[in-house]
Structure 1
Amino acid sequence: MQIHTHNFQLIYPTGFENEAQRMANTLEASIGKVSASLGKKPKKISIILQNQGTSSNGFVQLAPRRSEFFATPSQAFDFQNWLNSLAVHELRHVVQFDKLTGRFNSPPLETLALAMFGITLPSWFFEGDAVTTETLLTGAGRGRIPEWYIELRTNTLSKKKYSYSKNYFGSVKDFTPGYYQLGFFMNTKARRDFGNDINDSLLSRISRNPFRPYNFSNSLKKLTAMSTRKLHDSTFAELGKLWSQQQAELKTTGYVSLNKRRDKTPENLLLPTATSSGGILFLKDSKAETPAIYELSSDGKSRKVVAVGSQEIPWFSYAAEKIVWDEFRFDPRFQQRSFNVINIFDRKTKTKRQLSHRTRLFAPALSPDGNTIAAIEVSVTHQISLVEISAATGKEIRRYSALKDYMLQMPSYNQSGDKIVLVAVTSGGKALYELNRITGKFIQVTAFASQEILRPVYAGNQIIFKAHFNGIDNLYRFDPANSRTYQLTSTNFGAHNPFFDPASKRLLFNNYSAEGYNISAIQFSGAEGTDIALAKKEIVNYADPLLNEEEKKIDFDQIPQQKYSSRRYHELNNLFYFHSILPVNDGNPLANDSSLGFRLQSDNKLNTLSFYTGYQFNNALRKSEYEAGFSYRRYFPVLNFGYINRPRLLNRTVVVSGKGVVVPVSWRENEYKADVSIPVLANRFNNLYNFNFKVGTSFTEKYNVENNFPALIKTLEFPMHYEFSASRNSRRSARDLAPKWGQNIAIRYRHFPFEDQVNGELFTFRSTFYFPGMMRNHSLQASFNFDKGSGVYRSTVDIPRVSGYAFMSPTSNPRNTLLLDYRMPLFYPDWELGPLAYIKRFKGGLFADFENIDSGKPFAPRSYGAELRSDMNLLRFPLPNFDLGGRIIFINGKSNQNPIFETIVVYNL
């Protein structure tokens, strides 16, 4: 369906009408205030409301110009309506695009405008500006949540003075903030010091001369006399003073950690939970290991209990020797659709299984007897419910619809199992609610407040939860006897994830440090704490000085709800959106030259049809080439078609009067290519699975042949090729160079079943297998490949060659290769080499490559050697990520050169 307003086209699925109508009004009411401080009212844009996924996200892009809102709220988002916040944030990006690239961001120059935006503006700037705007205009926003920027505050107060590049690009050595957090504070600092219109001035100056080298840093220095590094350092100097003063005023304290860290690896030990045997379960999230649930024993040692797959937020629940957790699941074919399922592990039988399938259930909580699981369901129509399912069968037992339009978060049972406490979220903030399982009624426990309330749990008749009333995340208790709230902890950096152990009368919680979350505990009798009305408060909301300069906050509850007309969005009427003319510079196989041209690109806004048509001039033959093609992805098989009309040339030697004479044979040809593929992507627990089957063919016809000869084939009718690939790879941690375990195979077959003039077959097998190395994060890779060809494919080599093959003495084509590669991380320097490079990691490797291992000759490598490589960012661009280095190759046998030195340049987006 679609709704057209003055400024927006909303495209949304049927069944999402109510939210679409509300968002149409919200967007229209918000765009003026969102765009005011940049002085640019953007032109009309399409907003696509995606309700089939389970991740909370959104983006704006050009080529094609559109924005997508992923409507499912997170279980850990801030104290306001998710789509309201998302609207303000993403609309700010729309304004940024139009402000910077307004002269170019219309068809057919959208790709050029997108490239200008990405090259000119550092991501910390445009994301930070959006977070600042979101924080100022909504009264909530991530800039007001201490947990959101906890790494940055902790590092600053812990005297870890990291460079601009390290805070921007991240690290695998330490915990650092993301560029969203960095950008929020740097943007806010600039607006506080140089006026709320500084970003307007910056983008205006850049836009007037968009091709100026180092445009952003040049403009920043021109307008503020500060480089990006100086702005970074100045921001952190000011934040250090503010946060130090806050810490001193609040008289914060440290807490003893129950866990012992064996090394300096940054890792979080999350969600501490006491077991019936006296141990403590926790979810370890480490840069060196993939997530798993561990148990900490009384002697300080920990052991792995069960691995955990991809999660929207870290989460598990324990009771009666069972553990449940939720995991993200891909739809096998359509990536815009995903699911959130419940898994269960029985500690007695050591069995793990997936309990629900194709569900949208979040934050599961086990009842004390371990028989029932409560979870939050967010339906595709945005209906929020608390659902109880059987822990034995996964079948639904009861369903409780949320009150009004409230989002529900993080349920937890009381000790007797007759009540469930959870968090309710609306545009007015967060509150605690309690469900009476006997009556089936929700009861409001606390008033709605602008607080990031998370993870409520029972401690007897008290409710413990995390909030930030005093300006830092701490634990609080609500006493139903007098309806008052008390502050229990006063941490240096933040206390989270409370759990009450009735056996030891201890309150377990996560206590943050620069190395990550530790596990701490305090004794709890039910009378501790300071009334929040009397507790000291020292709140640092860094953006608050801008409130008087910014537009007034958006009151989402007072937005008039106009009823817009909606109508069907017909895909056939919207298959084409020609957004860009792209330059083409293809290598020419006929000469040491390029074929230059252009391509007109179309991608429709629902991403189902990609179409192109283009022209190239063949410099070698001085003739024109024409092409067109499309990829249609709406249905389960993906359909691809391509057409090219081009000139061709071959030089034929003929004997004239006993002498060989070279005769050029030229022609034009039409080539049509088509294939059908079925890609399948799936994940289960800690493994990712990929399957793809493709079948394709082509038809080629030659015409306008000059110097024809009888053996020239005029038509080549439908040669066939088939491909099948399958892979299973385990998840990787940040420090892993490859999957710990992985199996990848690909099979190809080509032949000519419909052609009598040509014959031949080619069968190819490729494989790559991954194994754990001798130490953590090391990897052994083995790749075995072989092919067999006949007829026209007799000399075709379609498998990876051994290293240095171009320098080896000529031999027959390889029938098979075995490539062994051992990789290891060496160290993590986090070196900032001025504006040129930021090096995160050095890594080494050893390799040995074998050829024709079935030849009967002694088993010895054809070549072997070593390599040294580094992961880095260049010229202060977050993307692409570069992998640069070199290798030395030794040839085992005769060669033109020995050893061989190669340079390695790899980049990925």
Structure 2
Amino acid sequence: MKNKQLFIKIFILLSTYVNAQQYFGGHPLGQNWQIISSPAVRIIYPNGMNPEAERIARIINYIDQNNRRSVGDKKKQIDIVLQTQTTIPNGYVGLAPFRSEFYGTPPQSNLSLGSLNWLDVLSIHEYRHVLQNINAKNGIVNFFYYLGGESYWAVVNNLVLPNWYYEGDAVITETALSDAGRGRSPYFTLQQRALIAENIDYSYLKNRNGSYKDMLPNHYPLGYMMLTYLRNHYGNDVIADILKESTAFDGLIYPFSKAIKRHTKIKNTTKLYKKAWEEFKDKTQTQIENTELIPTTPLLKKLPKTITTYSYPIFLNDSTVIARKKSYNTTDELVKISKGKETKITSIGINNDDFLSYNDNLLAWTESTKNPRRGAQNYSDIILYDLKTNHKKRLTQSTRYFSPSISPDGSQIAIINISPSEEFNLCIINSKTGQIEKTFDNPKNNFLSRTAWTTDGKNIVTILKENGKLCLIKINIKNGEITELTPWTAHTIETPFVTQNKVYFNASYSGIDNIYSTDLLGSKQVKKETSVKVGAFQPSIEKNQLMFTEFSSKGFQISSQKIRQNNSFISYQEPNKMKQFKTVANQTEGGNILSNIDTTTTYNAKKYNGLFKGLKLHTWGIAPSPSVSSINLRAVNMLNDVALNFSSGINHNENNAIFYNGNIVVSRFYPEIKFSASKTNRQTIVENNVNPPYNILDFDETNLGLKIGIPLTWYKGNYITSFEPYIEGNQFILNNFKTVFNQKSFTAYNTGLTFSTYKRTALQNIGPRMGFAIDMSKKADFVNADNADQFNINTTLYLPGIYKNHNLRIRGAYQKEKLSNTYQFSDYYIYPRGYSAPLNDEFKSISFNYGMPLAYPDFGFAGLIYFKRIRANLFYDYGVGKLNNENIIKELKTQTYNSVGTEVLFDNVYFNVLPITVGIRYSHLLKESLLGNNSSGFQFILATNLSF
């Protein structure tokens, strides 16, 4: 059974690797859905979003017909669900099932996306993932698809194709098919350029698998760099051949590397990385050498040892600065820095945007909340902190407000309000009540981002996006008159800061993000204020000092310089004209398609109410194992709120017994409803009144069940809380082999609840520094508790350790189930380590665990295994078991079990894809067991990052 469980865990982990963004049953009840269809795509979208849905369909159909040369010609219609209730910008293409979701609310920061329309970017980028996956169905990949469905397709794709291929190729596509895209944004290569500026070189394996201690670019810029090198040197279409041959396993070992070698003579991906890195390094160093740098002064003289990000520094006075801070070992917090000393002011809760504003002793930012029942409906609320009273309050509840900027007198707050129907409005709200006092017209519904008041409180400065271009604008709060402050550009513009007669902001005009300024009168003449190696962001002014964040290999640090007095106005080229952003792909993939998209084609929109409609069988996999052979069928509907699962197989450890399991889960309604049926072989130990007093009982069990639960999850500050009460009824039908039950069927109930609340963790934290969890259940025969009765309770308390990354976990558990009961429920109790499950009618235990990191090796071998972290867990377990049988001796009626030991755990990545924690446990028994097997000593242990 252990072999089966390990196999299934690994397989499920791989098959869900690309599906992590899905929310089962995440949509609000009563959502009115529409659907449009074309040969390339079906789009399910909320009523009222028809123009956006048609735009997505037109872009995808255009690409499907015109832009396949560098990926392949295979076709398959994709289902896309357009989500508009979430405030978290994202999108994904998943396998098992093969579908996509677009999260429609754009990011407020223009740095992460650039000047393109959010849904346009998603359409190009995510449809490229569709084409990648479709064209990966070759040879062995296709064989596995027919063998097991889309889960097997996902597994093999992830084993063969590196994640940097998927994302690098998609970023190349979004850049090549537009005039902007992340490939033309210097912010996209920020981490790589910082490493080059400091002469730091990391290996391919380290870049591929990441690090707990060092700052590394993720797989997006890594893939963009490597694939751009391939296209520049070996032709734009070479990657299509590499994709086809590697997924056909033309070369069984390292097929992707071997396909690269056949087409380029580059030996493998490691060599490709080195060549691409050296070329990119040369270009970056040349850029730095040709840039006239302006010296800056760091606020903190000593760089932190741990990767740390400061953002939105604000002058309180000449000697005191307030800023946001987060690091690899701390979550977001507000800090005060004075004379080189840093003090924490307050923590900042869960959020997806680091904006911060200050005026009149008030600080404002946003934090995320969510609909407790619906994972795809969340909010962005305003938080205020009063520096005079040190009081923090949530000003708004269940709103969709972004970029709050406090007016000079502190009475009002300018915000960007984005409705679920994707209407973008600049609004003013009352800082005491949170109520909207004024909404400004936006007749073209152009996207707005970031806000800042003029010092006289008469105008608001914000950033406007239209037709893939950005412009800094000023809006008069009395009459709504708009003044354009900068020329329209595809360069990124971000974070305005207003002084008496100027507005400072960061932009990418030179190919490096720097601070610029322009006047408030609308001359549109721009001056360059900083000139740094890597990037300068988020300006703040105090007298003659310009303060900003500057990026380095240790994260975003706070720097300053004197304000320049006689700097001249700049001229600049658009990103698509700049030499540093010209690549083979950008010149030959097809060029900007967004101005060529047909706007006349209309689609027949239909109402979509499907519950079981669109239920799609996506997995039919055979799961081989030395102990169990089975076939598994899985289906889900288009809205991901109805799932059907069935499995059948042979248990070789139980005399080749045949088993069947099936269930259907409906999560559209407020309660989640699960119907289940199973037939399986069971083996339990039961008490009798003869010698020996216990019998091993084998029997067949058929179980028909109905479960109703209400899964709830919500955020409050830094805590994530989940609660699910449930009740379940089961009809058991028993066919006994060796002993005759008093009854051959009975009806049982299972009622209980799970509750947990955890403080979110930083990257390096071993576990939550605060938290509590409880799982309680009562199972019993409706009629006769002596026939079947089990009570369980498990609790866990999380506490901070001595250091930030240490963790103390205390677990208590209790179980009661009499061995004299005719029927025994499955035993999932966690007994003290070093002991096998002892005979008991009642068991209680407590466990102390202290976890700590030992080392961050960042070392790997041949793409097979990569060691990211080594950690230790010191434990002490204590348990007491009781037996109530009168026929056994007194000494056996109450037994104590206690052990101490150490676990050394290795957080590794296997095959550059699969994160699995393995380790060695040493258990020392402080008392030998008389009723179970003792297994003190060394033991191999395994755990994945998923809970099963």
Matches within 5 A, 1:467-866: 467-480=507-520, 482-501=523-542, 504-524=543-563, 527-533=565-571, 541-556=580-595, 559-572=598-611, 574-584=613-623, 594-619=627-652, 620-621=654-655, 624-645=658-679, 670-702=702-734, 711-717=741-747, 719-753=748-782, 755-756=783-784, 758-790=786-818, 792=821, 799-806=829-836, 815-852=843-880, 862-866=898-902
| Cα distance in 2 between the residues matched to 1:698 and 1:211 | 52
The offset of 1:898, in angstroms, is 8.2
Assess if the C-alpha contact under 8 Å between 2:231 and 2:584 holds in 1.
Answer: no
1:36 aligned partner: 69
TM-score calculated relative to the size of structure 2: 0.88
1:891–1:624 Cα change, 3 Å: closer
What percent of counterpart residues are identical?
26
Unpaired runs of 5+ residues, structure 2, are: 1-33, 884-890
Structure 1 residue corresponding to 2:172, chosen from 117, 132, 136: 132
**Paired position in structure 1 for 2:13:** none
Contact (CA 8 Å) 1:584, 1:616: kept in 2 or not? no
- Worse-matched range after superposition: 424-433 or 759-768: 759-768
Q: 2:107 aligns with which of 74, 79, 89?
A: 74
Could you tell me how far apart the structure 1 residues matched to 2:590 and 2:292 are?
A: 36
* Greater mean deviation of Cα atoms: 60-69 or 131-140: 60-69
Q: Does 1:900 align with 2:937?
A: yes
Tell me what 2:329 maps to: 288
C-alpha distance 710-122 of structure 1, shift in aligned 2 (>3 A): closer
**Match of 1:401, SS?**
coil
Q: Tell me which of 88, 93, 115 is aligned to 2:124.
A: 88
Task: Indicate the larger mover: 183-192 or 387-396.
Answer: 387-396
Deviation at 1:427, TM superposition (A): 2.6
Partner in structure 2 of residue 398 of structure 1: 438
Q: Deviations over 1:651-680 (max 9, x none)?
A: 99999xx999xx999986542122111111
Equivalent residues of 2:176, 2:587 under 8 A apart: no
The separation in 1 between residues aligned to 2:778 and 2:450, in whole angstroms, is 52
**1:788–1:393 CA distance, 2 compared to 1 (3 A):** same
Choose 811-820 or 401-410, whichever is displaced more. Answer: 811-820
Partner in structure 1 of residue 21 of structure 2:
none
Q: Determine if contact 1:49/1:69 at 8 Å carries over to the other structure.
A: yes
Classify 1:853/1:476 alpha carbon distance in 2 versus 1 (closer, same or farther; 3 Å). farther
Aligned amino acid, residue 722 of structure 1: T
Structure 1 residues 192-201 or 576-585, which shifts more?
Answer: 576-585
C-alpha change, 1:781 and 1:794, in structure 2 (3 Å) is farther
CA distance in 2, matches of 1:210, 1:571: 42
Residue identity opposite 1:452 in structure 2: T
Q: 1:139 to 1:509 in 2, by over 3 A?
A: same
C-alpha spacing 1:441/1:890, structure 2 compared with 1 (3 Å):
same
Letter aligned with residue 569 of structure 2? D
Post-superposition shift, 1:763? 2.4
Displacement of 1:813 in angstroms is: 6.2
C-alpha distance in structure 1 between counterparts of 2:943 and 2:729, whole Å: 32
Quote the offset at 1:108 in angstroms.
7.0
1:173 CA drift (Å): 0.9
Q: 1:85 to 1:715 in 2, by over 3 A?
A: same
- Give yes or no for contact 2:514–2:528 (8 Å, CA) kept in 1: yes
> Partner amino acid for 1:691?
F
Deviation at 1:253, TM superposition (A): 4.2
Deviation for aligned residue 1:412: 0.7
* TM-aligned CA distance change 1:422 to 1:520, over 3 Å: same
CA contact (8 A) 2:905 2:918 kept: yes
Paired residues for 1:267-306 under 5 Å: 267-275=308-316, 278-297=319-338, 299-306=339-346
Structure 1 residues 260 and 818: alpha-carbon distance in aligned structure 2, compared to 1, 3 A threshold:
farther
Deviation at 1:542, TM superposition (A): 4.6
In the alignment, is the contact (CA less than 8 A) between 1:116 and 1:210 conserved in 2? no
Shift of 1:863: 0.8
Equivalences for 1:391-470 in 2 at 5 Å? 391-470=431-510
Distance 2:211 2:897 in 1: 37
Change (3 A) 1:236 1:209: closer
Deviation at 1:805, TM superposition (A): 1.4
CA shift at 1:166, angstroms? Answer: 1.6
Q: Secondary structure at the match of 1:153?
A: helix
Deviation of 1:223 (Å): 2.1
**C-alpha displacement of 1:320:** 1.2
Match of 2:4 in 1: none
Q: What per-residue deviation string (whole Å, max 9, x for no partner) do you get for residues 495-537 of structure 1?
A: 0001122xx3322111111111111222337x44332128999
Q: Which amino acid aligns with 1:764?
A: N
| Alpha-carbon spacing, 1:711–1:332, altered in 2? closer, same or farther (3 Å) | closer
Q: Check conservation: 1:107, 1:578, Cα contact below 8 A.
A: no
Work out whether 1:258 is the aligned partner of 2:302. Answer: no
**3-state SS of 2:188 partner:** coil
Distance in 2, matches of 1:38 and 1:177, equals 25
Higher relative contact order (CA 8 A, sep 6+): 2
2:232 is aligned with 1:232: no
> In the alignment, does 2:371 pair up with 1:309?
no
Alignment pair present for 1:190 and 2:230: yes
Shift in CA distance, 378/219, structure 1 to aligned 2, threshold 3 Å = same
Give the alignment partner of residue 161 of structure 2, picking from 117, 121, 145: 121
**Separation in 1 of the partners of 2:605 and 2:924?**
69
RMSD: 3.3
Give CA-to-partner distance per residue, 1:363-411, whole Å, 9 cap, x none: 1111111121111111111110012111111111111233513110111
Q: Deviations over 1:667-720 (max 9, x none)?
A: 8654212211111111111111111111112112357x788x764522122x11
Determine if contact 1:873/1:882 at 8 Å carries over to the other structure.
Answer: yes
Tell me: CA distance 1:842–1:110, structure 2 relative to 1, closer, same or farther (3 Å): closer
- Tell me, in whole angstroms, the C-alpha distance in 2 between the residues paired with 1:603 and 1:743: 33
Partner residue in 1 for 2:258: 218
Taking a change above 3 Å as real, the CA distance of residues 757 and 126 of structure 1, as seen in their structure-2 partners, is closer
C-alpha displacement of 1:140: 1.0
Contact 1:108-1:578 at 8 Å conserved across structures = no
Q: Which digits, 9 at most, give the CA deviation of each residue in 1:469-519, with x for residues without a partner?
A: 111001111124543111111101110001122xx3322111111111111
Structure 1 CA distance, aligned partners of 2:873 and 2:656?
47
What residue is the counterpart of 1:590 in the other structure?
none
Give how far 1:630 is off.
0.7
The offset of 1:211, in angstroms, is 8.6
Distance in 1, matches of 2:299 and 2:530, equals 16
Q: Which amino acid aligns with 1:863?
A: S
Contact 1:388 1:398 in 2 (8 A): yes
In structure 2, the partner of 1:343 is 383
| Cα separation, partners in 2 of 1:348 and 1:651, compared to 1, 3 Å | closer
Q: Hey, what's the Cα distance between the residues in 2 that align with 1:181 and 1:300?
A: 35
| 1:755-802 CA-partner distances (Å, limit 9, x unpaired) | 348535332221111111112211111112222334529988654211
In structure 1, runs of 5+ residues without a counterpart are 587-592
Match in the other structure for 1:589? none
Q: Give the match's secondary structure for 1:127.
A: helix
SS at match of 1:676: strand
Letter of the 1:831 partner, please give it. Answer: F
